[in-house]
C-alpha cells in the first residue's frame, strides 16, 4: 500500500512539473534603470558623546588652571 502512495505522489509531481514548464513562460533578468538606494539609519550618537566626554575630561585635566 505504501508503495502505491509513493508512486502516485511521484506521478503527481512529475505531471505538475510538466504542466508548469509548459505554462511558465519566459524569464527576463535586467538591471534597473535607476541606481539601487539603500538607506541606513544608524544611530552613532552614543559613540560620539562618549568620545567627546572623554576628550573633555582629558582637556579639563590638562588645563586645570583654566577651569
pLDDT score, position 41: 79
Three cell numbers written together for 15 = 505531471
pLDDT tens figures, 6-48: 567 667 777 776 666 556 677 788 888 999 999 887 776 766 7
pLDDT score, position 55: 86
Non-local CB neighbours of 67 within 8 Å, separated by 6+ positions: 60
Given a contact cutoff of 8 angstroms between Cβ atoms, the answer to whether 22 and 16 are in contact is: no
Q: Where are the domains of the chain?
A: 41-67
Name the pTM for this structure: 0.29
* Residue 46: exposure state from Cβ atoms within 10 A (0-12, 13-18, ≥19): exposed
Amino acid at each position: 500500500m505504501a508503495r502505491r502512495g509513493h508512486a502516485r505522489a511521484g506521478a503527481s509531481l512529475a505531471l505538475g512539473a510538466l504542466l508548469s514548464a509548459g505554462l511558465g513562460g519566459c524569464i527576463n533578468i535586467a538591471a534597473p534603470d535607476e541606481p539601487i538606494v539603500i538607506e541606513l539609519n544608524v544611530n552613532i550618537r552614543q559613540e560620539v558623546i562618549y568620545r567627546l566626554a572623554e576628550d573633555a575630561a582629558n582637556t579639563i585635566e590638562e588645563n586645570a588652571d583654566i577651569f
